[in-house]
Every structure is written in structure tokens, then in C-alpha cells.
Amino acid sequence: MRRRVQEAIDRRFNRQRYDADKVVADFAEYAAHETDLAALQSRVVGVIGETIQPRHVTVWVKGGAQVDE
């Protein structure tokens, strides 16, 4: 039963096509050196699109605290 459930999950998320640990490690390396928020956002959307292939990806960026001067 466990094997059948795991195979169904793997098919659903295309796990045969990518190694999740490698994807996360590669992205972490990229993010550690990237300072441009637009480039980082583009990379997030690209990695998600390539790996789990969702119909839509939304990235919310929390703004910094506004300081009154």
C-alpha cells in the first residue's frame, strides 16, 4: 500500500524528473549571492515551474517597515 501511494505522489509531482535535494541546494547557492530581488523572484518562479509544474505561481514579497523621517 505504501509503495502504491508513494508512486502516485511521485507521478503527481514529476519526481522522476528532478532531485529535490539538488534543486534546493542549487537554489540556496544562487540565493546566497543574488542581491537583485527581481532576479531572485524570476529564479524562484523558474525553479518551481520546472520542478512541480503548477498552473500558476504567485510570489508575495513582504515590504520592509516604513520609516517616517
Alpha carbon distance 6, 27 (integer Å):
25
* Average pLDDT rounded to a whole number, residues 27-32: 91
DSSP code of residue 43: H
Residue recorded with cell 522522476: 16
Average pLDDT of the chain to the nearest whole number? 81
Does a structural domain hold residue 68? no
Q: Are 47 and 20 in contact (CB under 8 A)?
A: no
Instruction: Report pLDDT for 61.
Output: 80
The whole domain housing 34 covers: 2-51
The one-letter amino acid code at 9 reads I
Instruction: Report pLDDT for 16.
Output: 61
SS3 category, 7: helix
Does a structural domain hold residue 60? no
Instruction: Report pLDDT for 67.
Output: 47
Does a structural domain hold residue 62? no
Tally of domains in the chain: 1
Does a structural domain hold residue 66? no
Q: Is the pLDDT of residue 13 over 60?
A: yes
Does a structural domain hold residue 63? no
CB atoms within 10 A of CB 54: 10
Does a structural domain hold residue 33? yes
